[in-house]
Amino acid sequence: MQVLSVQSSVAYGHVGNAAATFPLQLLGHEVWPVDTVNYSNHPGYGSYRGGVYHATDIAEILDEMDRRGAFHRCDAVLSGFLGAPATGPVLLNAVDRIKRANPGALYVLDPVIGDAERGPYVADGIAEFFRDEALKRADIVVPNLFELEQLSGRKIGNVDTAASAAASLLKQGPTTVVVTGLRHESQISVLLVTGGRAWQVTTPLVDIASHGAGDAFAALFLGARFDLQDARAALSRAAASIYGVFLATQKLNRDSLALVAAQREIVNPTARFDAVPVWAG
């Protein structure tokens, strides 16, 4: 699989393309990272330096890739943190051109908006872009609970309401929604909704600084979905891999995901977790 990944870049830590590229490469996939911002580190550390790339610069990079014939060979587009609202139309223009060149290409949307602890942390207009424009074009959407509320306009209190909110997004265009970060005291789960059915994978909760976990998980799910050709099996493998990464991060006392140290967990996770049906209808 050849993946165009449009999201943030950091020098220190693993978020955005720094969280997505390495796992996909380990799984044997070619990745073309296009950065939307270049930061020293994730802003969640409290301070950072760097800046946002102009949308015109990103458009020029994508145009040149198209001239190289990359769009015809692209199997999937993965997008995350945009940095600026003006980057949104540039991204969707590339998605449309890739899908015209290769109708089987997937668009995986990680709608980075914010989280429950901090609220929104993106520029004005980006959440609306995801909700009103990008969602219609996506094949797979991978929000956290906070982002699912923003996209669906629904308050989510448990797994059932999360599944219903995810199902409501399917009416707008996507075929698959994967929701991350459903906490249950000492456990955490991810939820898959597709084709009128829902599955949940639950793992022990590992207490670490998890900046970039959603970015890494979206990449892991995409890689597993392509390899296994089965969304339910992909959910189980991706959840097991990210759990292995979390354990390694905790054991090494790292302040960002220990992706390199845990690379064996990405390729062949030690733990196994079943995807359990939630409902069908």
The conformation of residue 144, written as its DSSP 8-state character, comes to: B
pLDDT in tens, 15-46: 999 999 999 999 999 999 999 999 999 888 88
Residue 116, pLDDT score: 67
Residue 218, pLDDT score: 98
Cα gap 222→21, rounded to integer Å: 12
Q: What percent of the chain has pLDDT over 90?
A: 86
Q: What percent of the chain has pLDDT over 70?
A: 99
Q: At what angle do helices 231-252 and 213-228 cross, to 10 degrees?
A: 140
pLDDT in tens, 101-156: 999 999 999 999 987 677 777 888 999 999 999 999 999 999 999 999 999 999 98
Residue 19, pLDDT score: 97
Residue 281, pLDDT score: 57
* Cα–Cα nearest to 257, from 228, 215, 229, 226: 215
pLDDT in tens, 38-67: 999 988 888 989 999 999 999 999 999 999
**Polymer length of the chain:** 281
- Look up residue 266 and give its amino acid: I
Residue 280, pLDDT score: 60
Q: Give me the helices (H) in the chain, please.
A: 17-26, 55-67, 70-73, 87-101, 126-129, 135-137, 145-152, 159-170, 213-228, 231-252, 263-267
* Topology of the domain covering 2-280: UDP-N-acetylmuramoyl-L-alanine:D-glutamate ligase (3.40.1190)
- Residue 68 predicted with pLDDT over 60: yes
